[in-house]
Amino acid sequence: MSNNVQQNQALAPPIDRTGPLKAFLKHDDDRVAAIIEKLQACYIESERDEAVSNQITRLIRNALKKRYPKRPEGDENRRAGVGFVVIGGSGSGKTAALERALVDHPAFPGYGVAGSGCVFVTVLVPSPCTLTQLGDAALEALDYHAEKPLRENEAWKRVRKLLRRKRVMFLHFDDVHNVLQNAHDREIKKIQATLRNLMISRVWPVQLVLSGIEETLLIFQKDRQLKRRLKYVMFDNLVAADDAAWIGDAVKDFAEAAGLKYVERAGSTIVERLIHAAAYQFGLVFEILLDAIEVAVTAKSKTFCIDHLIEAYAERTAQPDELNIFASAAWQTIDPSIIFEKENEQAEKAKKPARKSEARRYDR
């Protein structure tokens, strides 16, 4: 091949393989995407958000305290860290609540943006996970990529060095229960010691945030130092009798925001079924709701009703009508845990960065 031919090939513009696909879907897809993105930007505030915010403020205050009050400020004169734990079921909204609190927090500019130099870093704990893999995940979150696998002690030694070098003062482990899946008693003690040492380090103490399901509490049992340094924010399950009214208002509000007229047939018990289908988890209620609204909007429906929830739930769970909580007359007898199969399938997928959202509050 001649040099001229090679040069012409190098200068040729790249072929756009996706252009025709985008053009085919553009008009209708853009319409649906714009509506769903608008709804996803809405955030339902609750008392839990205030509890999380108060704990973050507590950590900030502690991070600025001196170990020796009469001595000048400095790296060697920082008080040991404290922390808090967000506990709730899968789909309860733990991650969303923390992201909401952090992404626009004035104390943490650049949170979630690689290379921003933010002092608050979140580590996504893989599943399943060992203490070594947890160290690797922390290194990755700190933008360190090892050329070869590191042993457990080497990984955590580098984590501690990087925390100080990058001036990271707050560390959040999301889905920390994953590190407990295959942990025996000895491993749990090592996990306890590792988390404890991050907080009480004389060289560079950090403030710790942990989030996970109820099994996360196993990490702290029989460890006095951890227990006295940590506070807890519980994301309790929904209770239909207490929460149906405000969730019903939210459903109508979301439908209206999507340009749909809310229609509820007599006796359809939409809200009660929705709470049950979501396994009584706050976050899942709105995931299912948005799935159903997307079904309605895609079909160019002018109304929103239980039929759209039936279709969305079937697509999500692959259950027949007799096991579809929105279709079955015996919906209260159906085990809602089927909803978590999709959650498990997506556990390894990267989570999208948080974005600024519009808060909506409903009286509870």
Q: Which residues, other chains included, contact 93 with Cβ-Cβ below 8 Å and sequence gap of 6+?
A: 48, 235, 281, 282, 283
CB atoms within 10 A of CB 310: 19
pLDDT at 353: 43
pLDDT at 10: 54
pTM confidence score: 0.83
Bridge partners (DSSP) of residue 141 are: none
Contact (Cβ atoms closer than 8 angstroms) between residue 128 and residue 121:
no
Of 50, 357, 102, the C-alpha closest to 233 is 50
Pairing label, strands 83-88, 42-45: unpaired
One-letter identity of residue 316: R
pLDDT tens digit at each of 364 positions of the chain: 555 555 555 556 678 777 777 777 666 678 888 899 899 888 888 899 999 999 999 999 999 999 999 999 999 999 999 999 999 999 999 999 999 999 999 999 999 998 999 999 999 999 989 999 999 999 999 999 888 889 999 999 999 999 999 999 999 999 999 998 888 889 999 999 999 999 999 999 999 999 999 877 767 767 888 889 999 999 999 999 999 999 999 999 999 999 999 999 888 899 999 999 999 999 999 999 999 999 999 999 999 999 999 999 999 999 999 999 999 999 999 999 988 865 554 444 434 444 444 544 444 4
Bridge partners (DSSP) of residue 85 are: 210, 232
Of 89, 155, 153, the C-alpha closest to 123 is 155
**How many residues in total does the chain contain?**
364
Cα three-residue angle 296-302-303, rounded to 5 degrees: 70
The span from the CA of 180 to the CA of 319, in Å, is: 31
Alpha-carbon torsion, ordered 117, 213, 313, 331, to 10 deg = -160
Of 320, 273, 315, 275, the C-alpha closest to 296 is 315
Angstrom CA distances, 148 to 144, 151, 159, stand at 12, 10, 15
- Dig out the tokens for 235 from the structure: 């994301």
Residue appearing with tokens 């839990």: 48
pLDDT at 30: 81
